Amino acid sequence: MADTDLPYRQSLDNCFAAAIGENGLSRESYDKALARAEGALDWLRKAHETGELPLLRVPARRDDFARIEEVAEKLLD
């Protein structure tokens, strides 16, 4: 997937114990969870590539912009 400039940035910095103390997540726990998620991420990437899960392609659609604008205009009225 290509990097894009998003209008927001997600930061996990303040969820770690190093930032907020003993109730925060340890870096070790985070790294272990991330490692466990690798298989699922690989599966999602393959499903996106093959089109196996059409919902993963929705963000790339552009054919619905006109309808979205119509609905937005009605909501603004």
List pLDDT tens digits, range 22-68.
999 999 999 999 999 999 999 999 999 999 999 999 988 899 899 99
Helix/strand/coil percentages in the chain, nearest 5: 65, 5, 30
Q: What predicted TM-score, i.e. pTM, was given to this entire model?
A: 0.55
Using left for φ > 0, alpha for ψ between -120 and 50, and beta otherwise, residue 18 falls in alpha
Q: What is the pLDDT at residue 7?
A: 82
Domain boundaries, the chain: 13-76
Q: Please, which pLDDT band fits residue 4 given cuts at 50, 70 and 90?
A: low
Q: What is the pLDDT at residue 77?
A: 86
Q: Please, which pLDDT band fits residue 2 given cuts at 50, 70 and 90?
A: low
Q: What is the pLDDT at residue 1?
A: 44
